[in-house]
Amino acid sequence: MTPHFASLNAAYQLHFYLWFKTNYGRPLLTENSRLLVQEVLAEVCARESYHLLDTDCAQDNLRLLVSSNPRQPVSKVVNMLKGNVSRQFGLAFPTQLKAQNCPSLWARGYFARSSGKVEIERVRQYLESQVAHHGYKGTWTGKLTFRNPNFKSPAFKLEHSFCMLDYHLVLATQDRLPLFDEEIASKLINYVLAIGRKHRFVVDRMSMMPDHVHLIVEAVPSLSAEACVLAILENTRHWMTKRYTGVLKEMDAWNVWEPSFYAGTVGEYTTAQVRQFLKMN
């Protein structure tokens, strides 16, 4: 499918707690090498437009709180940070690696978890309140809100890594036109679930208003927030064009969506709680 949206504008706040362990849990990160690690982290973050919010470096592991933009998948952020630190460490301290019988600084894999301003449970409650908040009443409104009964985090089992990456996404219809009624909403929700199976994200909650949509999704680390949004926008636009041409013609809304979105990470713990945890260790 030829992409309809060449580029997207985004409002976002994306925070990730990352944890890397040294090879075999060896105490490789001495006081001198920790200074090098901090320098390399600062260089990589400046070059790649990451924001290093907090760090905690011990002898056998490194914990980070990192902010990135929607185009950057977590897997790429991890590879850039781990790869650059490991390379510079190997150049600076080759005898230390040899003495510990380690081929490189880091063990395979990593831990990654999203966090946000508020806990994920509060965001779930927020989504479920949207129908009433916008003044819609009646039994028919039950079709506007979806709670996935099969959702369980972590939604994906990954080799060597453990990730729980949850996003709150908000998408608006073209010119905020009221395109979705309860009939379209229920079918569109099912279609978004199918999109998720193909692109490797799982819908936890979804709330559909006539002119905008809220979702909470959990995605694999190789899928950026923007890639997730693009998959939804492009596929649902095509789906609406095939099935509801009359609605789009009447509303003059052939694009279906605005080329913009909001993406915010959420998690069991807030970013403030993660920062406090890092300071305590």
User: Could you tell me the sign of the dihedral formed by the alpha carbons of 209, 214, 216, 219, in that order?
Assistant: positive
Structure tokens at 237: 């636009």
Q: What is the CATH number of the domain that holds 35?
A: 3.30.70.1290
* Residue 87 is assigned to a structural domain of this protein: yes
Structure tokens at 21: 């362990």
| pLDDT reported for residue 174 | 97
* Residue 279 is assigned to a structural domain of this protein: no
Structure tokens at 42: 């600062």
Please tell me the distance from the alpha carbon of residue 113 to that of residue 122, in angstroms, as a whole number. Answer: 17
The SS3 call for residue 161 is strand
Whether 266 and 168 have beta carbons less than 8 Å apart is answered as: yes
Whether 48 and 80 have beta carbons less than 8 Å apart is answered as: yes
* Residue 66 is assigned to a structural domain of this protein: yes
| pLDDT reported for residue 78 | 98
* Structure confidence by residue, pLDDT tens digits, 96-138: 999 999 999 999 999 999 999 999 999 999 999 999 999 988 8
Give the number of other CB atoms < 10 A from CB of residue 125.
Answer: 12
**Which of 134, 211, 225 has its CA nearest to residue 172?**
211
Whether 37 and 44 have beta carbons less than 8 Å apart is answered as: no
| pLDDT reported for residue 3 | 58
CB-based burial of residue 156 (10 Å sphere; 0-12 exposed, 13-18 middle, 19+ buried)? middle
Domain that holds residue 217: 117-271
Residues 155 and 262 in one domain: yes
Helix-, strand-, coil-residue percentages of the chain, each rounded to 5: 45, 30, 30
| pLDDT reported for residue 241 | 97
Please tell me the distance from the alpha carbon of residue 231 to that of residue 225, in angstroms, as a whole number. Answer: 10
Ranges of residues in the chain with a pLDDT under 70 are: 1-3, 6, 281
Residue that is last in its domain, among 57, 79, 109: 109
Please tell me the distance from the alpha carbon of residue 185 to that of residue 207, in angstroms, as a whole number. Answer: 9
| pLDDT reported for residue 280 | 83
| pLDDT reported for residue 32 | 87
Whether 184 and 246 have beta carbons less than 8 Å apart is answered as: no
* Residue 97 is assigned to a structural domain of this protein: yes
User: Could you tell me the sign of the dihedral formed by the alpha carbons of 170, 205, 161, 21, in that order?
Assistant: positive
Give the number of other CB atoms < 10 A from CB of residue 16.
Answer: 26
N-terminal to C-terminal alpha carbon distance within the chain: 49
* Residue 70 is assigned to a structural domain of this protein: yes
For the chain, the average pLDDT equals: 95
Whether 105 and 90 have beta carbons less than 8 Å apart is answered as: yes
Residues 126 and 258 in one domain: yes
* Residue 7 is assigned to a structural domain of this protein: no
Whether 264 and 13 have beta carbons less than 8 Å apart is answered as: yes
Residue that is last in its domain, among 109, 125, 141: 109
| pLDDT reported for residue 266 | 98
**Which of 233, 248, 249 has its CA nearest to residue 9?**
233
Amino acid identity of residue 38, one-letter, is: Q
Residues 168 and 258 in one domain: yes
* Residue 6 is assigned to a structural domain of this protein: no
Whether 216 and 119 have beta carbons less than 8 Å apart is answered as: no
Residue that is last in its domain, among 109, 129, 148: 109
| pLDDT reported for residue 140 | 87
Residues 22 and 123 in one domain: no
| pLDDT reported for residue 1 | 44
Number of separate domains in the chain: 2
Give the number of other CB atoms < 10 A from CB of residue 129.
Answer: 12
Q: What is the pTM of this model?
A: 0.95
